[in-house]
Amino acid sequence: MGFFSTIFGIFGFGFGISIGLTVGYILFIYFQSTKVEDPEIKPLVDQDAESLQRMLPEIPNWIKNPDFDRVDWLNKFIELMWPYLEKAICKTAKNIAKPIIEEQIPKYKIDSVEFQTLTLGSLPPTFQGMKVYVTDEKELIMEPSIKWAGNPNVTIAVKAFGLKATVQVVDLQVFLLPRITLKPLVPSFPCFANIYVSLMEKPHVDFGLKLMGADLMSIPVAYGFVQELIKDQVANMYLWPKNMEVQILDPAKALRRPVGILHVKVLHAMKLKKKDLLGASDPYVKLKFNDDKMPSKKTTVKHKNLNPEWNEEFNLVVKDPETQVLELNVYDWEQVGKHDRMGMNAITLKEVSPEETKRFTLDLLKTLDPNDPQNEKSRGQIVVELTYKPFNEEEMGKGFDETQTIPKAPEGTPAGGGLLVVIVHEAQDVEGKYHTNPHVRVIFRGEEKKTKRIKKNRDPRWEDEFQFPVEEPPTNDKLHVEVVSTSSRNLLHQKETLGYVNINLGDVVSNKRINEKYHLIDSKNGRIQVELQWRTS
């Protein structure tokens, strides 16, 4: 009986399962709704931003945001250069991280932290778009959207309490929106002195972390904790307006900021040659550095004298004592016509030791070319004394931010007054009807000063500076800035105005410094950039 009971039990179980599946299927078909509606389909243009982001999470920023430009060319460039960029970035990262690690490890009683391996792998980051800001300052601001799913290998060895542990970072994913500022822009390659990096939002960072071969990120609690900890720490250090600064060039040399004063005393000249047909010459001396845009310093004119005595003193600002050269030119003054040059010579600043007065007796030459045969002819001599006084560190300043502070007015300025400084930088889209050889007239309280003239240029750059001593703040005054073109060839229209602007000076008195572009009146599209400073004692 036991055998038959088993057989019937198995048969009953199989039969019951079959009957149950059949009945279930019939009920499912019977109760299934026969009314099926077509899905609602909307075009992408009708979707809101949140729905689009959910459907297409990898949309690049240049599609979502019109302020971002597409930079496929940059991604191609990075892809080709990545084998070399990767090595350079790793070297720079080590140099940046080393002092930070050395500063931090004593707080945690760690003996040492060293990079055993540091490679960024073969997969370069990609730029999803880039936003560029245009300002009137000497800077370039960029905001790239960066995504990087790389295969780096970063192994760090940590030694503490006589033990050694290795930590390995793998499978790194980083999504960043940094702000990169290159400033100040300078006339030396690579044309910027510092890089400032800030984060505009918290970064997304995902990676694998192996300690002694075990993957710590496989622990759910540790994964979330480490992710948030890294985001918060990075944000605390670099979230805008905080930034990381990387110095590329020495600011003092790159900006050619003043590093000292050269005191020049023009003593006398000897045995000068006659230039006037009816008598002796009327000599005077012009002094300037070879690369300086500032006007030359001039001595007084000694009339009808071939052995003049001046004993006059001048101060010149030194920006690079290793390369600058002081040029001395002796001229014969003429009441009418061009002044004739009687001779010249030059002194390199490397010949002058700091804080020591040195006397030079120089033969006057026709040119500074040592192979010029005309230099063999005697033209007389000139005697000068030079003293170079370098600034100390406090006077020079240590960073770019300090260069943006406004200097004080010179000694002797009235207590309620100051110095109005006008720097004419450049202009765009200026065009004359008959000619375009622009220069700028700057008029303040009836006193007029002019920039140099630039021939045949609709976008001239002057970078000329003018100073107006004022006994009281010019709160209610206006500065007249006029762009003028002149031509000696066009006799009927030798001079014409290309546009002008009147600038209220109340703002510069309040803010100490303004640097703006102004639309020129009586000009179709012309603009001019003028920087104003108000310096007080």
Peptide bond before residue 184 is cis, with ω within 30 degrees of 0: yes
Taking alpha carbons only, the member of 527, 524, 506 closest to residue 516 is 527
Residue 41, classified by CB atoms within 10 Å of its CB into exposed (0-12), middle (13-18) or buried (19+), is exposed
pLDDT at 499: 93
42 compared with 252, residue with greater pLDDT: 42
Q: Report the C-alpha gap between 350 and 337 in whole angstroms.
A: 37
How would DSSP label each residue in 387-446?
Answer: EEEE--HHHH-SSHHHHTSPPPPPTT--TT-EEEEEEEEEEES---SS---EEEEEEETT
pLDDT at 480: 94
| DSSP 8-class letter at 354 | B
Which residues share a beta bridge with 209? 169
Residues 6 or more apart in contact with residue 165 via CB below 8 angstroms: 157, 158, 211, 212
223 compared with 124, residue with greater pLDDT: 124
Distance of CA 535 to the CA centre of its chain: 25
Q: Report the C-alpha gap between 159 and 108 in whole angstroms.
A: 11
Most confident of 118-122, 263-267, 510-514: 263-267
What is the identity of the amino acid at 169? Answer: V
Tokens 């410094």 found at: 513
- Mean pLDDT for 428-455 is 91
pLDDT at 241: 72
- Mean pLDDT for 194-219 is 72
Q: Which two tokens stand for residue 20?
A: 């149950």
Q: Report the C-alpha gap between 351 and 325 in whole angstroms.
A: 10
Residue 403 binned pLDDT confidence (cut-offs 50, 70, 90): very low
Q: Report the C-alpha gap between 478 and 530 in whole angstroms.
A: 14
pLDDT at 151: 82
**Position 146 pLDDT exceeds 80:** yes
Name the helix (H) or strand (E) containing 360: strand 357-363
The model's pLDDT over 293-306, given as tens digits with 9 standing for 90+, comes to 666 788 888 888 88
Write the Ramachandran bin of 161: left for phi over 0, alpha for psi from -120 to 50, otherwise beta: left
Taking alpha carbons only, the member of 209, 233, 213 closest to residue 222 is 209
Which residues share a beta bridge with 285? 330
Taking alpha carbons only, the member of 382, 347, 346, 384 closest to residue 270 is 382
- pTM here? 0.46
Overall size of the chain counted in residues? 537
The model's pLDDT over 17-59, given as tens digits with 9 standing for 90+, comes to 566 666 665 655 555 555 656 666 667 666 666 666 666 556 6
- Mean pLDDT for 324-336 is 85
Distances (CA, A) of 312 to 174, 269, 350, 394: 66, 12, 23, 30
Contact between 53 and 65 (Cβ < 8 Å): no
Q: Which two tokens stand for residue 70?
A: 């597409």
What residue spans of 2-56 are helical by DSSP H? 2-31, 49-55
Residue 399 binned pLDDT confidence (cut-offs 50, 70, 90): very low
What residue spans of 65-117 are helical by DSSP H? 72-104
**Position 61 pLDDT exceeds 90:** no
Q: Report the C-alpha gap between 496 and 483 in whole angstroms.
A: 9
3-state secondary structure of 35: coil
pLDDT at 497: 92
Contact between 283 and 272 (Cβ < 8 Å): yes
The model's pLDDT over 372-394, given as tens digits with 9 standing for 90+, comes to 888 788 888 999 999 988 876 55
Least confident of 69-83, 270-284, 433-447: 270-284
